[in-house]
Structure 1
Amino acid sequence: MNYNKTEKISLYHGLASTVSTTAVNGYIPLFALSVLGASNQQMGLITSLPSIIGMIALIPGAYWLNRAKSKKNFTVLTTFATRFMFMLILFIPFLKLSFAPWILVFLIAALNFPGALSGLSWQTLIGDLIPENRRGAFFSTRNQWMTAAAMAVTFMTGFYLQQYNKTDAYPYQILLAAGFLFALVEVYYLYRHNDVKKENVTKVAEPAKRKFSMEVFRHKPFLAFIVCAVLFNIGAQMAWSLFSIYHIREAQATALWFSFFSVTNQLAQIISVKWWAKAADKHGNTMVLFVAAAGMATAPILTMLSTNLYYLTALNLWIGLFVSGTNLLLFNQLLKATPEVNRSTYLANYQFILSIIGFIAPQFGVYLLSQFGMFSAMAITSIIRLLAGCSFLLVAIKFERKQQAAEIV
């Protein structure tokens, strides 16, 4: 694939972003449980509270973004703020262990305020810069390179952390500092993106809604996507804390095993992402998204079959095949379901809804764990994911029938 300047810069930005966030992000559960001694409740809050903060951020976020003279500069500032706050985690081990886990909960939640704005503005910026006919091929390639970088960084950091006692905070602090250096590179390449032309910004900003409104749900493709995406995210996010608790407390996974889980998962994503892009072009994005979502439904129940670490590593290879599909196809489907005019408003409403789900779902997962045990909680999660996959299929069939009826007429 031949890349233009914007696509090359976006690729470099994605690689730097991946290294910055992957260096420690995947080991936060291990850091919280093994170093700081976090409880199940605190683990659930680490997963869910950022969504509430993100929801609060998105209330003024669409307004600020629509008013911003430069989408690029807005994205740069919010991204830098997010990465800087994440780096502050390295100071938490110096605090008393009695309240250090709560500081971690607070900091991870707080950094999601600029993080939500960064995600919203980047989606809007890149949606304007990359034309629709190149998104599938470009984003699949970009995701492939980012996954490869994540795989390499994850393996190296896991091997590095394995050299230390699992309760030692020092290696995590080194990784946090290194991650911030790569964050500076990420911000640099983000700044090198072209900005949206002023006349295009004006065109979008004039009719844009500057508050959350039910009007966006009158656009039927967006409404259909929202219904399916909400159901899918409930099932997906319910299991976030459950997987971490299961791997660390029941399977006794160390940092090195965590890296094996991630590396095999990412390897499968690299292998499969191009296939998902081609399949979506051939069979339709929504139809293929059903297959990816249904595959994701197998993850929780298959995890419960064994605590053998070799088995769990192999299972992550299977899961990764569908993770790459859902990541790529959900984003493409979101852009496809939103009109170019006022896209930031549609994206803000989408993120607002996901923020509510992101708070409720992990807490519900932890509640199911406390009431029914790990197996039942995981089984319920699998069922909800499968229902979400079926909802994408129903939407695909419905729109296909409408298109056929329109052609006949």
Structure 2
Amino acid sequence: MSQSGHKEPQQSLSYSMRDGVFASIQQGAGESYISPFAIFLNASNTQIGLLASLPLLFGACFQFVSVEVLNRLQKRKKVILLGAGLQALVWIPLFWLPFLFPSYAATLVILCATAYFLAGNFATPAWNSLMGDLVPPATRGSYFGLRSKYNSIASFAALCLGGVILHYTERTLHPWWGFFVLFSLVLIARLISVHYVSCMMEPEYRVDPNSNVRILDFFRQHRHSNFMVFVYYTAGMHFAIMIASPFFSAYMLRDLHFSYLQFMAASATTVLIQFLTMHYWGRFSDRFGNKRILAFTGFGLPFLPMLWLFSTDFTYIVSIQIIGGMIWAGFSLSMSNFIFDTVVPQQRAKAVAIYNTMNAFAVFLGASLGGWLGSFLSPTLNLGILQHTFISNLPLLFLVSGCLRLLWVLFFIPKLKEVREVESLSMQDLIFRVSQLRPISGVKFDVFTGYQHNGENGRRIVEAAPPGRAKETATQSVQK
């Protein structure tokens, strides 16, 4: 490859912008529809739980392998291209193996999804390292902020397109063709993403000896620290969340018989509201700290799954998604920012790996428990004089998840400490100010009048979420 102008750092950052857009198309139109694909293949509740947990668990653990390979090769682009290229190719067996071997369809989807996340997480540490060298610190906030904006738009558009394609093919009685078209487009998008990564320049890689801290030594140093309290809190929350989270898609598609268009609308609502409110939460975090956001959104999360018990109406569910989008935006942002606040830069990579791994184990245990409970729970809620039978037993999983979330918040939030000097704000004022947010109409928090945006916030929002990597979010298309 020539050493012409396209190898200059500025051109490489332009290539990274394009890489992020096409990788986000993979996330929106691909990852978001793996679970509906498994449901279409008649996956059981236990299999749906494993699909949501096993790939994330093995993917997070595989980052430690990636770091060792990177330190030996000292070639970041090779690691990134290998991981991203393999991730693209996984879409081929993910579709065709269930088609050719229908008796093992759901199991094959789980195995392919695990391979997909292994490949993506293999590329993650090298991508973080490469972009840290290419993006100048003075412009890091503005660059990643713009990149995140483009990625969000691409992911949202792909999510909507996927819903339209599946809805149309379902109506024509050819849903297999819908998934074929969708996964083929995703494969092409990821390969285009890989091409743009290959065009980027690669500065010399040097191993930082200060970052070579053994995991056990890190735990000994930090076992009573604010960071570990935070890790225990988020891991417990993810455990409780994942008891219910993998099963909202099944509840909508299988039990409520939503069309793919309705499923897409409900999913896209959450994504859109998160996109519209993340900027405001970022400003709020800079001024009043992350603990207050963790506390406020933490007390909101337990009630989101409980709201699903009261109605099966589509409009009602979309309204829950609007509320959930606002709460999830603040919770996910404050989690990312809190890591940067509580760990010194020399140990940040190790801390993030430990944080991801512990949360991945919690996700695995929570989703596995949810799948096990979903296999035998009765759909009837019996509280003595109060008795109600639901359309399925999944609403009872939502209730269990909400109760456990609440218990974890009550126990751990008082133990967390804000490590930055921030302005004081009571919980009553916090509730009032958040209530002023109207993302659809564009009205901002009134507290931000005259506030000057700090580019550092943009860095914190996006630096922990490289392109093509599944969010905890996540990567669930519907976060509850």
TM class, shorter-length? 0.7 to 0.9
More divergent stretch after superposition (134-143 vs 361-370): 134-143
Which runs of 5 or more structure 1 residues have no equivalent in the other structure? 405-409
- Whether the 8 Å contact between 2:274 and 2:328 is mirrored in structure 1 is yes
CA contact (8 A) 2:298 2:409 kept: yes
Deviation at 1:360, TM superposition (A): 0.9
Give the one of 197, 213, 216 matched to 2:216: 213
User: Is contact 1:51–1:354 with CA below 8 Å preserved after alignment?
Assistant: no
Checking the alignment, whether the CA contact within 8 Å between 1:269 and 1:324 is kept in structure 2 is yes
| Aligned pair partner of 1:330 in 329, 335, 344 | 335
Distance of 2:398 and 2:266 partners within structure 1: 18
Relative to structure 1, is the Cα distance of residues 361 and 167 closer, same or farther in structure 2, using a 3 angstrom cutoff? farther
1:347-388 Cα offsets, whole Å, 9 max, x none, are 322222223122211011223333363333212212333445
Match of 1:177 in 2: 184
Counterpart of 1:246 in structure 2: which amino acid?
Y
**Could you tell me how far 1:282 is from its partner in structure 2?**
0.7
Tell me: CA distance 1:132–1:152, structure 2 relative to 1, closer, same or farther (3 Å). Answer: same
Instruction: Find out whether 1:383 has 2:403 as its counterpart.
Output: yes
The partner residue of 1:31 within 29, 34, 37 is: 37
**Which secondary structure does the structure 2 equivalent of 1:169 belong to?**
helix
Distance 1:12 1:237, change over 3 A: farther
CA distance in 1, matches of 2:71, 2:234: 25
Write the distance in 1 (CA, Å) between the matches of 2:220 and 2:336: 18
> 118, 122, 135: which one pairs with 1:117?
122
| CA deviation profile, 1:190-240 (whole Å, cap 9, x unmatched) | 345564653xx33x146513x532424524343233122212221232222
Shift of 1:167: 6.3
After superposition, the Cα gap between the structure-2 partners of 1:297 and 1:122, relative to the gap in structure 1 and judged at 3 Å, is farther
The Cα shift of 1:276 comes to: 0.9
State whether structure 2 residue 155 is matched by structure 1 residue 150.
yes
Are 1:20 and 2:26 counterparts? Answer: yes
Match of 2:196 in 1: 189
Structure 2 partner of 1:74 = 79
Give the letter for the 2:97 counterpart.
I
Amino acid of the residue matched to residue 94 of structure 2? Answer: I
Q: Secondary structure at the match of 2:215?
A: coil
Q: In structure 1, how many angstroms separate the alpha carbons of the residues matched to 2:305 and 2:54?
A: 23
1:311–1:321: structure 2 CA closer, same or farther, 3 Å change rule? Answer: same
Q: Taking every aligned residue pair, what percent have the same amino acid on both sides?
A: 22
Q: CA deviation at 1:122?
A: 3.3
Larger radius of gyration: 2
Kindly tell me: are residues 135 and 252 of structure 1, through their superposed partners in 2, closer, same or farther at Cα, counting changes over 3 Å? farther
Query: Matches of residues 2-401 of structure 1 in structure 2 within 5 Å?
Result: 8-34=14-40, 36-54=41-59, 56-126=61-131, 139=144, 141-165=146-170, 168-192=175-199, 195=202, 197-198=204-205, 201-202=206-207, 204-205=208-209, 208-209=212-213, 212-216=215-219, 218-219=221-222, 220-369=225-374, 370-371=376-377, 373-389=393-409, 393-397=413-417, 399=419
Secondary structure in 1 matching 2:365: helix
Q: How far did residue 59 of structure 1 move?
A: 4.7
More helix by share: 1
Equivalent AA in structure 2 for residue 350 of structure 1: Y
Question: Matched residues in 2 for 1:266 and 1:249: separation?
Answer: 22
One-letter code aligned to 1:272: T
Please give the alpha-carbon distance, in whole angstroms, between the structure 2 residues aligned to 1:338 and 1:272: 26
Aligned-partner Cα distance in 1 for 2:234–2:85: 29
Distance 1:196 1:77 in 2: 18
Contact map agreement 2:226 2:416 (CA 8 A) in 1: no
Q: Kindly tell me: are residues 347 and 195 of structure 1, through their superposed partners in 2, closer, same or farther at Cα, counting changes over 3 Å?
A: farther
Cα deviation for residue 398 of structure 1 reads 6.0
Which residue identity lines up with residue 215 of structure 2 in the other structure? Answer: F
* Aligned mates of 2:366, 2:69 — CA distance in 1: 28
Give the deviation of 1:120 after TM superposition.
3.7
Q: Does the Cα contact within 8 Å between 2:230 and 2:416 map onto a contact in 1? A: no
Cα distance in 1 for residues equivalent to 2:243 and 2:46: 14
CA RMSD, Structure 1 to Structure 2 (Å)? 3.2
The answer to whether the Cα contact below 8 Å between 1:143 and 1:273 also exists between their aligned partners in 2 is no
Deviation, structure 1 residue 169: 1.0
Q: Normalised by the size of structure 2, how large is the TM-score?
A: 0.73
Give the Cα separation in 1 of the matches to 2:141 and 2:242. 25
Change (3 A) 1:62 1:339: farther
Letter in structure 1 aligned against 2:65:
P
Q: Any idea what SS the aligned residue of 2:74 has?
A: coil
C-alpha change, 1:387 and 1:180, in structure 2 (3 Å) is same
2: distance between equivalents of 1:292 and 1:232?
12
